[in-house]
Amino acid sequence: MNKKIALITGINGQDGSYLAEFLIGKNYEVHGTLKRNSVAENQTARLDDIFNQINLHYADLTDLSSLISVIQKVNPDEIYNLAAQSHVRISFDQPIYTANVTGLGTLNLLEAVKLIKPSIKIYQASSSEMFGNSIDKDGYQRETTPMNPVSPYGCAKVFSYNIARNYRNSYGMHISNGILFNHESPRRGTNFVTNKVCKEVVKIHLGLSNELKLGNLEATRDWGHAKDYVEAMWMILQQDTSDDYVCSTGISHSVQDLCEYTFSKFGLDYKEYVKVDEKFLRPEELHNLKGDSSKLKSITGWTPKYTFESMLDEMLEYWINFYTKNK
């Protein structure tokens, strides 16, 4: 039996690296795209353990010809479009770049697939940031919740979500949107609040730092683990018909909760170390996110294995080991 072939855009990111490992475990032939970068040695750090089991290609979502070239070369059965400018706060500083990569980049990919091999199954990485401050009366966001984004990143993701639906309906293509809520891991960039907090807490515990500057402590998010969420991506694409799915834990915590838990693991009071710095506040704030993934669970059988606490424990352990090794 021939192996299925998967192409992952943004394979060197948090989600891409976990997804690549997962698909290798499912006996896929795994290909991934990288954006050409002069600092090559930093690009594939998350892929070190599987580097010899994957095939890497240079391509850029903003360059249609590069996408056409790699799709023709790889001839994939499935494409997971995970590449994006994915940092919400940075999207306020670089809105045009964010729109070009995160929004129009998706259109380039869909057009390339339509031209070359429209039968490819496509997973489009959508985001809970698309909802903005829209929330249903029961306090949850779900597939039917109105989208009212409050950041350039959220706006770009809404475009991607809608153009994916448009190509699905117009051309009969198998394109599914996974509306993923926040998902973290030790591989998360340290400019994202969860891993930033975990890293700095460990530094404070070890006497390497004495202060942690953050933005809005009252914002609540539905945080899960990236390992659980990449499994959901795969399960979504195994369905006979394409559709849109919220993927979340259904439990939300505030940034303050995050600080309280991580500092308390080392017997510390976060109030003595955390300072609010206006430069980390967004021009327009997204206050509360909590997803209802009932549809995903009922159709695919997906269920998260990590809790908020076990996810943070793993992230703290990573930084303890990191600083212990690099003393």
The reply to whether 194 and 81 lie within a common domain is no
- Provide mean pLDDT across the span 234-247: 98
**Amino acid found at 91:** S
Same domain for 137 and 94:
yes
277 shares a domain with 231 = no
149 within 8 A of 158, measured Cβ to Cβ:
yes
Residue 38: pLDDT band with limits 50, 70, 90: very low
The amino acid that residue 46 corresponds to is: R
Given the residues 21, 29, 129, 231, select the one marked as catalytic: 129
Query: Structural domain tally of the chain?
Result: 2
- Do 89 and 195 reside in the same domain of the chain? no
Instruction: Give the three-class secondary structure for 31.
Output: strand
**Parallel/antiparallel/unpaired status of strands 253-254 and 220-221:** antiparallel
Which tokens is 133 given? 């401050």
Residues 159 and 201 in one domain: no
127 catalytic per annotation: yes
Residues 17, 86, 127, 242: which is the catalytic one? 127
For residue 316, the enclosing domain spans 190-221+253-287+308-325
Q: Which two tokens stand for residue 104?
A: 């129009």
Residue 154 lies in a domain: yes
What average pLDDT does range 24-47 have in this prediction?
83
Q: What are phi and psi of 324, to 5 degrees?
A: -70, -40
CATH number, domain of 202, equals 3.90.25.10
Q: Rounded distance, CA 199 to CA 262, Å?
A: 10
pLDDT for res 278: 82
Residue 24 confidence (pLDDT) above 90: yes
Q: In this structure, are 196 and 258 located in the same domain? A: yes
What's the pLDDT tens digit per position in 177-225?
Answer: 999 999 999 999 998 999 999 999 999 999 999 999 999 999 999 999 9
**Domain co-membership, 234 together with 217:** no
pLDDT 10s digits, 120-172: 999 999 999 999 999 999 999 999 999 999 999 999 999 999 999 999 999 99
Q: Residues 107, 123, 112, 85: is their CA dihedral positive or negative? A: positive
Name the average pLDDT for the chain. 95
Percent of the chain with pLDDT over 90: 88
Looking at the DSSP bridge assignments, the partners of residue 276 are 214
Distance CA(176)–CA(163), nearest Å, equals: 11
Q: What CATH number is given to the structural domain containing 154?
A: 3.40.50.720
Residue 241 lies in a domain: yes
Task: Please tell me whether residues 146 and 228 are part of one structural domain.
Answer: yes
The catalytically annotated residue of 18, 123, 153, 306 is 153
Structure tokens that stand for 121 in this block: 């199954």
Whether 164 is covered by a domain: the verdict is: yes
Of 102-106, 121-125, 255-259, 275-279, the poorest mean pLDDT is in 275-279
317 shares its domain with 207: yes
> Element (H or E) spanning 120, and its range?
none
For the cut 60, the answer to whether the pLDDT of residue 23 exceeds it is yes
Given a cut of 80, whether residue 1 has pLDDT beyond it is no
Residue 287 pLDDT > 90: no
Which tens digits make up the pLDDT trace of 292-319? 999 999 999 999 999 999 999 999 999 9
pLDDT of residue 318: 97
Contact indicator for 236, 178 with CB cutoff of 8 Å: yes
The pLDDT score that the predictor gives to residue 86 is 84
| Average pLDDT of the segment spanning 18-44 | 85
Q: Which residue has the tokens 């089991």?
A: 53
Which tokens belong to 168?
Answer: 């699905």
Q: Is residue 294 part of a domain?
A: no
On whether the CB atoms of residues 26 and 80 are closer than 8 A, the answer is no
Decide if 269 is inside a domain.
yes
The CA distance from 218 to 72, in Å, is 48
Do 19 and 81 meet the contact criterion of CB atoms below 8 Å apart? no
> How far is 231 from 149, CA to CA, in rounded Å?
26
| Residue with the larger pLDDT of the pair 286 and 163 | 163
What pLDDT score was predicted for residue 87?
Answer: 87
Residues 138 and 261 in one domain: no
Residue 174 has pLDDT above 50, yes or no: yes
Over residues 59-80, the pLDDT tens digits come to: 999 999 999 999 999 999 999 9
In terms of Cα–Cα distance, which of 104, 88, 90 is closest to 153?
88
Shared-domain flag, residues 217 and 201: yes
User: What confidence tier does 281 reach under pLDDT thresholds 50, 70, 90?
Assistant: confident
- pTM for this entry: 0.95
Is the pLDDT at 285 greater than 80? The verdict is no
Beta strands 54-58 and 244-247, pairing class: unpaired
The residue count for the chain: 327
Would you say 27 and 3 are in contact if contact means Cβ atoms under 8 Å apart? yes
pLDDT greater at residue 324 or residue 39: 324
pLDDT higher than threshold 70 for residue 27: yes
- 260 and 131 housed in the same domain: no
- The secondary structure of 82-107 as a DSSP string is --S---HHHHHHSHHHHIIIIIIHHH
